[in-house]
Homo-oligomer: A and B are copies of this chain.
């Protein structure tokens, strides 16, 4: 009989914090949950879209839930918005910059340093919003264009129905 390996890799005991949703995932599970192939996950890593995950002693990749979220983010950016992986890399790097800022943000640091980091994070985010705004504008433009066309179709259909009625008599 075939038997599944129910690998639940918990690198740390993890006593109280966080329910053991799945602890750490290996590549097959991540692939299944995100709907991309293992190849794609390795490819994204190679291209710098995913940070190199921790490894098991034997070399198996161990992903976090955050990685799953990131993959889903990548998929959204790619599939819905049509960005190239190069574009997306910039965006996830911006995300990375922000989390870096978060990580190095110290309550006890100099106020001016904290302010600078916050401003930097804000700047990055503003850039992201700008990219989105561009897409939004283009899409709105196209939509109004299409709706104009729909009106045209409707008037033509009107015409045809009139002709149809005229001929029925």
Give chain A's interface residues, CB within 8 Å of chain B.
76, 79-82, 101, 106, 108, 111-112, 114-115, 118-119, 121-122, 125-126, 128-129, 132-136, 138-140, 142-143, 145-147, 149-150, 153-154, 156-157, 160-161, 163-164, 167
Contacts and interface: CB of A to CB of B under 8 A. Distances in A.
A139 B82 contact: no
A13 B87 CA distance: 50
A107 to B, nearest CB: 10
Copy count, this protein chain: 2
Contact of A138 (B80, B128, B133, B164): B80
A138 B135 CA distance: 11
Nearest to A107: B167
A153 B111 contact: no
A15 to B, nearest CB: 27
B154 A122 contact: yes
A140 B76 CA distance: 12
Given A121-B153, A129-B143, A143-B129, A160 B115 contact: yes
A164 B115 CA distance: 10
A118 B160 contact: yes
Contacts of A132: 139, 142-143, 146
A136 B82 CA distance: 13
